[in-house]
Amino acid sequence: MGVMLIRRGRVIDPDQDIDGQFDVLVLDGVVAAIDKGIAPPDGAEVIEASGHVVCPGFIDVHCHLREPGFEYKETIATGTAAAARGGFTTVCAMPNTSPTTDSRAVVEFVMQKARDEGAVRVLPVGCVTKGSKGETLAEMGELAEAGAIGFSDDGFPVADPNIMRQALSYSSSLGLPIINHCEVPELSRGGSMNEGWVSTRLGVKGIPSSAEEIMVARDIALAELTGGRLHLAHLSTAGTIELVRNAKEKGIDVTCEVTPHHLTLTEKTLLGDANGDSLFEPLTASAYNTHAKVNPPLRTSDDVGAMVQGLAEGVIDLIATDHAPHSQIDKLCTLDEAAPGLSVLETALGSVLSLYHQGQVALPTLVAKLTAASAGFLRRDDVGTLRKGAIADIVVFDPEAEWVVDASRFASKGKNTPLDGTTLKGQVVATIVGGEVVYDAQS
């Protein structure tokens, strides 16, 4: 590690309420100073950031790296390379691997693999139940000691309310959150998209909003009962936002996240080119786009509006990608057969910046939801900030740069995105982890 100076960028650090043109000096992997007109020390690596935003590295509290067990979809090496391209310097790996992350051995494997091959920091999430089967609690204390930052059976909900109650009670003594995928299986089973006029037009079984909202209401009630830390993953409905708003007003310990796609895309994405409002508009070959199948599904424009409003108002705590890479064979099939999930890490910034460009959410708010808010969720003060002495995890991005998404050029093995071929505005220029450049768009 050496000396680095990032000059003349618009520094946005929500943790310190900084937003202005400054230089950032990095010494031996930590932030040494933020000031104007810092002279480059001898031998310093200088990054010219004029016209660019300089902020703490993004933190993704919810992504799928697939290793161990599903390396044909993604590996820790390819997933973290994708994260670096997207400006993420810390990612939290979900436990639906094979074997699942329900033992100390798997937590330690993920952490060691990340140290050996990862481009960015990886923090494992442990299972709530053994094998994520929803029957018996995992050894949560052992997982926490090994380095798990929370517990989730993501991919599956914790369907049994008594198991969920036990999990919240036990995890509260560890100070770690239960992260639930909120879905009532009996209402969602067999569904491939949102239940509504678009699913009717496509002749596909839908998933009603109530499948999410009923589970969220249950979990909030159990969090109030137990005093446990509840985190609600990838929220998608307007009704859910109201439930969370009411819970926070009551002082219940609940946090939540939203994905870039639930902030920007609607169910009409699955119509392809026939993206109108008519039940009778002819469909084209671009309909039934399996790359737009995700769980929870893309919802209505009203739901998207509620997500954006909830983010701007602070009801939604943070943005997480739910990066879910799949192989081609997982998506080259019918909509009903396709695996749900999108490859998101490399498009996340461009997606969410559309809210800024449309005047819906302020740029510092978006940066906060990707940095300081996520660090607060992790209860860490050494990342998600540019405070003096913090780890020098930094991203430099151009908020005005336009680029065309080409999934074939993703670092991720997962090319499954409905954004392929679309133009996004906002691109990462450089990603720095611990004072070392791990991604440079010019190289």
Q: How confident is the model at residue 443 (pLDDT cuts 50, 70, 90)?
A: confident
Partners of 59 in beta bridges: 90
The pTM assigned to this predicted structure is: 0.97
pLDDT at 234: 98
What are the residues facing 46 on neighbouring strands? Answer: 5
Q: Over range 66-88, report the average pLDDT.
A: 98
- Rg of the chain over all Cα atoms, to the nearest angstrom: 21
Tens of pLDDT, residues 203-218: 999 999 999 999 999 9
Question: What is the rounded average pLDDT of the residues 418-441?
Answer: 98
Percent of the chain topping pLDDT 70: 100
Looking at residues 408-434, what average pLDDT do you find? 98
Q: Is the peptide bond before 99 cis (omega within 30 degrees of 0)?
A: yes
The 10 Å Cβ neighbour count of residue 417 is 22
How many Å from the N-terminal Cα to the C-terminal Cα in the chain?
20
pLDDT of residue 134: 95
CATH topology of domain 56-384: TIM Barrel (3.20.20)
Q: Which residue in 217, 219, 187 sits closest to 205, CA to CA? A: 187
> Residue 275 has what pLDDT?
74
Residue 266 has pLDDT above 80, yes or no: yes
Beta strands in 14-167 (DSSP E): 18-27, 30-35, 45-48, 53-56, 58-63, 88-93, 121-124
pLDDT at residue 213, rounded to an integer: 98
Residue 241 has pLDDT above 80, yes or no: yes
Per-residue pLDDT at 1 exceeds 70: no
Q: What share of the chain has pLDDT > 90, as a percent?
A: 95
pLDDT, tens digit (0-9, with 9 covering 90-100), for 144-161: 999 999 999 998 999 999
- Give residue-wise pLDDT tens across range 10-63: 999 999 999 999 999 999 999 999 999 999 999 999 999 999 999 999 999 999
> Among this protein's residues, is 322 annotated catalytic?
yes
Query: Following DSSP, what letter does each residue of 124-181 receive, concatenated?
Result: EPBPSBGGG-SSSB--HHHHHHHT---B--TTS----HHHHHHHHHHHHHHT--EEE-
130-136 long-range Cβ contacts below 8 angstroms, 24+ apart = 130/102, 131/99, 131/100, 131/102, 132/95, 132/96, 132/100, 132/102, 132/156, 134/158, 134/159, 134/160, 134/163, 135/160, 135/163
What's the mean pLDDT in 344-363? 98
Mean pLDDT of the 346-356 span: 98
| pLDDT for position 285 | 86
Tell me which amino acid residue 1 is: M
- Dig out the tokens for 318 from the structure: 């943070």
pLDDT of residue 188: 97
pLDDT attached to residue 284 = 87
Please pick, among 322, 330, 381, 440, the residue that the annotation labels catalytic: 322
State the average pLDDT over residues 320-342.
97
Which residues are CB-neighbours of 412 under 8 A, at least 6 positions away? 74, 78, 79, 81, 82, 323, 325, 343, 345, 346
pLDDT at site 424: 98
Averaged pLDDT, 301-319: 98
Helix (H, G, I), strand (E, B) or coil at 28: coil
The string of pLDDT tens digits covering residues 357-403 is 999 999 999 999 999 999 999 999 999 999 999 999 999 999 999 99
pLDDT level of residue 222 (50, 70, 90 thresholds): very high
Identify whether the C-beta of residue 325 lies closer than 8 Å to the C-beta of residue 264: no
